Structure 1
Amino acid sequence: MASTGMSQHETHLDALGRLMRGWPGEALDPRGIVRIVNRGGSKPPIFWVFNARHEPENFARELGQDQPLIYARSLHLVMPPDQDRAAANLPLARYYAQVLTPNLTGLHLFLGANCQGARLMLELTRILRGNGGRVSGVCVISALPDIEVGVPALLIYGSRDPQHDPFFFDAVSAQKQASRCFATVRRIVIDAGHGQYAVEGTVETVVARVQEFSVSLNSRPVFSA
């Protein structure tokens, strides 16, 4: 329960800090909710919003030690599933942007998120771009939030997860929305069910597609020491 006088945002930050104790990587903020794995890698860093601890562990393993992975967490398990997270995502995205800004040179970054973290990631993308940061592209998995960011997007859906694929129900409307939100759109469907995109047997495919797409954008972000 929140302490007297504590804002909802501060309550969420405290909850995220508790949930992420012991998560892999080096903390970039005092609360330990923005972290980096493989910091010494020479490749351009990727930022991701995850929902559970096993996800950054599996992503980092598949990306390899030469690929820095900066990550944070969504409000999954912090807010009830039936509660609207749109208003809560915005201050959290601002917090993540404040942490990222002094740690990146040029803010030329590729970002991604799974399902519940997608809206938060796109809000962060919009903030970074609004502050003059250069975002090379984004990856959205198992979602299609109606947030315009104006950068290239890789959309990944699962063949066993059609209920979270708007293209499955109305491809024309989904394509119109995606074209409005992103500069270009690449959609792929892989053999996966909901919540399985970061598990062994599927994460290998996801990471390979993300790497292919991010490299194709020719981004050159540099993480500062």
Structure 2
Amino acid sequence: MEIDHTSSKPLHIQAEEVLRKLIDKEEYKNGKLLPNEVELSEQLNISRNTLRQAINKLVFEGLLTRKKGYGTKVAKKGIVGGVKNWLSFSQEMKMLGIEVRNFELHVSLKKPSKEIASFFEIPYENNIKRCVVLERVRGNKEFPFVYFISYFNPIIPLTGEENFTKPLYELLETNYHIIVKTSKEEISARLAGEIIADKLEIKANDPILIRKRFVYDINNIPVEYNIGYYRAESFTYTIEAER
């Protein structure tokens, strides 16, 4: 494991490449913990922050799992469904013939959480950058069925004064020449709780589905961190796979 400090390639990229080789070894595939951050940063002669940046990237990709007080290890392989030609919410609803209604729409400026800052590759500690945050409760004419929270990369010159009643990705392309290309998604389930239940007009102990969407542009630059809370009976996720 070596890092070339004379190379023009950023240290965190080199550290990421080292980690990819490391986790491909059989012993780590079988559950052995990776060396701790102190040991590994000393071996590579880089700072812990630089190493952590590389580890965070692989955790986000689902290659590593990290547990506080325990360590970092290779993630167990699960069943992954690939979805091509993904659609925005407005496009999905249009295909289903559903006329979308906005029940709530709020725009604010907020400092990102550690997880969101890591996704946008911006510093978390002492960070003064704020994200434009778009919150929308959407549904059909009769009732709301999804509550969206979207955080946008601070490098995008959004002001918060844009017309967010327009389709979101159309707005980004028209106003800022940002063309989104890739969406990585996570689906989970839980009970609604009081806040989400109030938004979706359901009971606190009703089930909801949570859909996290990580959106990148054509240059693979992160654009949007989106969380959608869906009424369970209103959301079906279909994966088509070919052999």
| Structure with the higher strand share, 1 or 2 | 2
Q: Which has the higher contact order (CA 8 A, sep 6+)?
A: 1
Higher Rg of the two aligned structures: 2
Q: Which has the higher helix share?
A: 1
TM-score normalized by structure 2?
A: 0.26
Q: Give the alignment's TM-score, normalised by structure 1.
A: 0.27
